[in-house]
């Protein structure tokens, strides 16, 4: 008797799901065991970090996790690390989280906002509390144009400025301080061989960014504040090709003073930053660096650009009445012109005091 042919039904059919129908999830690991750390240097995709929980002082080499996407990591960022966080040679951790930044110090590549390069914003450092503007009183003479730019950048980032005047043995600070008298700008004077107690007191418990032109004594100041700065830079530079370039920022832990248990703070040396392009700062925000001129603009027409071409600008009368220094108005208008791309007005040709 011939075998009976089997009849199939739908239960016998197996359907393989297509790729597009496979379930997907955006669930990411929580990384509850991640270690909190501070980024102290960045070098070609490798990040030098130190633990913030007191679990060690070794520099941990880390890379950015793919799950962070295109989020940038800069010096000063507080991050979470997974993987090998021992800091031993040849080990590598991963940065899986970036904490919300309390402040962001930015600069623009150039002051010309008519070109893509001129509109390019660059984050200098994150989470800084203070911007220390280092300027010599002589050799080279102080450049108020550079100081003004730094002040605008600091106020725009909501960072407190501190003016550090070096080489006070060669010239007095009266002219510079007089120029900024209306701002009540905090300052410290530094002489060769003088103690740095006042400066250390202002740095304690903070993350401070140091900026200054070549020759003003910033490197000497850093080496005095952190006696083993050169050795520390050598350690953190080893995460890349073993060199510390003049375009990279590095955070250095200040040594404790005596037996004090107070946090001595951090300084971030920025050897490659000699100017701040301000194209990313609006014309109105530029006034943040000139609070002595703000009241003089209140009676202006809403569309007044406050430039020399605005014949009815109230600022001219404000200065004529002795309510502000004329040099301050000149500096403000210089920045306005530079931001608009009118001429090549750079910090290295700023007028001297």
Binding-site residue numbers are 166-169, 212-220
Given CA atoms 141, 244, 248, 111 in this order, what sign does their dihedral have?
positive
CA distance 70 to 49: 19
CA distance 130 to 153: 11
CA distance 309 to 300: 14
Pairing of strands 121-126, 104-108: antiparallel
| Residues in a beta bridge with 136 | 166
Please return the burial class of 323, using the count of CB atoms within 10 Å of its CB with bins 0-12, 13-18 and 19+: middle
CA distance 267 to 224: 12
Residues 74, 75, 76, 79: what is their CA dihedral angle, to the nearest 10 degrees?
A: 60
Neighbours of 51 (CB within 10 A): 18
In 3D space, the residue among 315, 347, 342 whose CA is nearest the CA of residue 330 turns out to be 315
In 3D space, the residue among 71, 105, 165 whose CA is nearest the CA of residue 353 turns out to be 165
Extract the annotated binding site for GTP. Answer: 166-169, 212-220
């Amino acid at each position: 008797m011939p075998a009976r042919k089997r009849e199939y039904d739908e239960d016998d059919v197996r359907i393989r799901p297509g790729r597009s129908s496979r379930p997907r999830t955006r669930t990411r690991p929580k990384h509850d065991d991640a270690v909190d750390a501070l980024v102290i240097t960045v070098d070609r995709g490798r990040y030098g970090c130190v633990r913030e929980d007191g679990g060690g002082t070794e520099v941990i080499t880390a890379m950015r996790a793919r799950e962070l996407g295109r989020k940038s990591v800069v010096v000063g960022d507080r991050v979470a690390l997974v993987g090998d966080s021992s800091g031993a040679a040849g080990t590598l951790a991963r940065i899986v989280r970036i904490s919300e930044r309390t402040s962001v110090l930015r600069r623009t590549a150039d002051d010309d906002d008519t070109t893509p390069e001129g509109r390019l914003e660059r984050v200098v450092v994150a989470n800084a509390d203070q911007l220390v503007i280092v300027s010599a009183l002589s050799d080279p003479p102080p450049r108020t144009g550079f100081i003004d730019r730094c002040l605008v950048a600091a106020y725009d980032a909501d960072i407190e400025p501190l003016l550090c005047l070096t080489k006070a043995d060669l010239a007095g600070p009266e002219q510079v301080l007089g120029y900024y008298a209306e701002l009540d700008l905090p300052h410290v004077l530094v002489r060769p061989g003088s103690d740095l107690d006042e400066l250390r007191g202002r740095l304690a418990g903070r993350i401070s960014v140091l900026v200054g032109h070549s020759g003003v004594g910033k490197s000497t100041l850093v080496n005095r504040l952190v006696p083993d700065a050169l050795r520390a830079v050598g350690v953190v530079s080893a995460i890349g090709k073993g060199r510390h370039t003049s375009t990279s920022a590095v955070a250095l832990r200040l040594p404790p003073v005596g037996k004090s248990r107070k946090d001595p703070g951090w300084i971030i040396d920025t050897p490659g930053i000699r100017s701040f392009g301000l194209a990313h700062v609006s014309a109105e925000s530029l006034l943040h660096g000139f609070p002595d001129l703000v009241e003089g603009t209140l009676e202006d027409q809403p569309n007044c650009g406050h430039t020399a071409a605005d014949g009815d600008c109230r600022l001219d009368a404000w200065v004529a009445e002795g309510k502000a220094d004329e040099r301050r108005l000149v500096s403000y208008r210089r920045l306005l012109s530079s931001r608009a791309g009118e001429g090549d007005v750079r910090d290295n040709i700023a007028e001297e005091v």
